[in-house]
Structure 1
Amino acid sequence: MSHGCENLNRQNTESDWPVIDKKPYFESDSIRLYFAESMEVLGSMQTVESSKFDAIITDPPYCSGADTKSGRDADPASKYCHGGNTCGRPSFAGDHRDSRSFEFWATMWLALARRHCKRSSYCLTFIDWRNLPLMVNIIQAAGFVHKGVCVWDKGRAARAPHKGYFRHQAEYIPWGTNGPVPKLSDRGPFDGVYQHPIRQADKHHITGKPTPLMRDLVKAAPIGGLIFDPFAGSGSTGVAAAIERRRAVLIEQSEEYCEIAAKRLDAAIRGEIMDRKT
């Protein structure tokens, strides 16, 4: 699926994109989505300086929704959806790892991705409270300099198991840079806490993040800059990038979610937000 020119600062050439030995599932002047497994692409991807990434912004499987092997092996719908009800959203694979294998696996893909990042580029990766310490370790083991943790406040609608709990109303975005933090004059400083409630019509993946939140985060990259998301899901990073005049390379291993993402990206390029039919 190909689309025409979007209004970025200049016309991009092929040298501005990584070389990936696979036809895009969706392609436009600013967004390329690949139906593939992220490690497969990262193992063979080639870049030159003009095609390196300005930011990695991604939401990998958290692998944290259960304490036992049987719980980890369960369908993510039973771990992350109330009563296992996905409200018609597809489930996803790759959420079965224990803490040791999660740390090893995530360090591998993030280290491979860092090889294709510009100096002082950003790395932002979502995680929850259970695996936050691991993700901080992973960012550093992959070669980034860990610089802090942003907070996504989901609001008081976030559920709790019972009234004895403090609400699990925050998720976390540990961040770092590929070398020193860049001194910027065209954008920033960026917020450390983001307050965006979940709007069900905007949630196309069972762990999907709000489009307004992603629009805030993609501003870490410059206008026209290139963002990489190796776990694209329903395409929220790409949607935000298109709206905010950034570019993005997205990888998603589920064809169901690639189809959803392609429709959302097509709408975003036209300046529209595609709501989910409920």
Structure 2
Amino acid sequence: MPTIPAATVDAIITDPPYSSGGMMRGDRAQSTTAKYVQSTSHRRGTEFTGDNRDQRAFHLWSTLWISEALRTMRPGGIIGMFTDWRQLPTTTDALQLGGAVWRGIIPWHKPNGRRTQGRPANNCEFFVWGTNGPRELADGETLDGFWQQNAPRDRVHQTQKPVALLEWLTRVCPPGGTILDPFAGSGTTLLAAKNTGRHAIGIELTAHYCQTTVDRLADQPIALDLAGADT
């Protein structure tokens, strides 16, 4: 992100590591496969990094990257990130400490999510969003405050989001604008941006997922900037 000029992107849409999957420090230190993969058909997915911070470190780290991300975004632009129920309070705090104006939460409901006997199901993830300072109301479509769709069955990333969900979220960026995803993973945000007529900048540390993104986009050229720590 430090290489991106200030005030040059129109929106930030991303899915950072949650550092979740349990209530105790030892739970968070487990592998991403143990924490997030329930079906054995998805256990072939490559582990991803940055997901074992304790709560205090996660809070401080989130504040730091959000602050740097906002530097790259034009005034009034929308920043949004996924989180789960455990990290929802911390994420909304970090968004504000990082300098954004917190605007709301969009639940993503997964009808086939795992049930727990005798308890309400935790089968929602949440898209926390805000703006880079004031945002004037403008003509255009209005997005609903709720999305319902099952998680992808055939996935190339352990926590992959549906392309349709990201296509819907990219509509907060004006057509032809630029979306930044600082945690690109397997490139779903970038693919959605291309499909909806937006440009995209993706940043990803894991070499495997940098290549996965390139492969997914190989037949669909877009404005692509992948930064890999070891590629």
What is the TM-score with the length of structure 2 in the denominator?
A: 0.91
1:31-46 correspondence to structure 2 within 5 Å:
42=1, 44-46=2-4
1:76-225 correspondence to structure 2 within 5 Å:
76-82=32-38, 86-155=42-111, 157-160=112-115, 162-185=116-139, 187-201=140-154, 203-225=155-177
Asked if structure 2 preserves the Cα contact closer than 8 Å seen for 1:89 and 1:206, the reply is yes
1:83 to 1:244, Cα distance in 2 relative to 1, 3 A: closer
For 2:164 and 2:129, the matched residues in 1 are separated by 19
Kindly state the Cα deviation for residue 182 of structure 1 after the two structures are TM-superposed: 3.2
For 1:269 and 1:196, the matched residues in 2 are separated by 27
Paired amino acid for 2:134: P
Indicate whether 1:60 and 2:16 are aligned: yes
Kindly state the Cα deviation for residue 98 of structure 1 after the two structures are TM-superposed: 1.2
Match of 1:255 among 195, 207, 211: 207
Look up the match of 1:29: none
For 2:62 and 2:16, the matched residues in 1 are separated by 9
Paired amino acid for 2:132: N
For the residue of structure 2 that corresponds to 1:95, the secondary structure is coil
Look up the match of 1:233: 185
What are the Cα deviations for residues 164-213 of structure 1, in whole angstroms up to 9, with x where unaligned?
1211211101110011123222x321111011222312x22100100000
Asked if structure 2 preserves the Cα contact closer than 8 Å seen for 1:151 and 1:171, the reply is yes
1:116 to 1:85, Cα distance in 2 relative to 1, 3 A: same
For the residue of structure 2 that corresponds to 1:82, the secondary structure is coil
Percent of aligned pairs with the same amino acid:
35
For the residue of structure 2 that corresponds to 1:180, the secondary structure is coil
Asked if structure 2 preserves the Cα contact closer than 8 Å seen for 1:242 and 1:265, the reply is no
Paired amino acid for 2:190: G
For 1:235 and 1:209, the matched residues in 2 are separated by 10
Kindly state the Cα deviation for residue 88 of structure 1 after the two structures are TM-superposed: 1.7
For the residue of structure 2 that corresponds to 1:174, the secondary structure is strand
For 1:74 and 1:239, the matched residues in 2 are separated by 30
For 2:17 and 2:41, the matched residues in 1 are separated by 18
For 1:250 and 1:87, the matched residues in 2 are separated by 25
What is the TM-score with the length of structure 1 in the denominator?
A: 0.76
Q: Which has the larger radius of gyration?
A: 1
For 2:177 and 2:136, the matched residues in 1 are separated by 14
Kindly state the Cα deviation for residue 81 of structure 1 after the two structures are TM-superposed: 1.0
For 1:205 and 1:83, the matched residues in 2 are separated by 13
Question: What runs of 5+ residues in structure 1 fail to find an aligned partner?
Answer: 1-41, 271-278
Kindly state the Cα deviation for residue 268 of structure 1 after the two structures are TM-superposed: 3.7
Moved more, 80-89 or 121-130: 80-89
1:113 to 1:245, Cα distance in 2 relative to 1, 3 A: same
For 1:243 and 1:230, the matched residues in 2 are separated by 19
Task: Provide the aligned C-alpha RMSD in A.
Answer: 1.6
Asked if structure 2 preserves the Cα contact closer than 8 Å seen for 1:227 and 1:246, the reply is yes
Question: What runs of 5+ residues in structure 2 fail to find an aligned partner?
Answer: 223-231
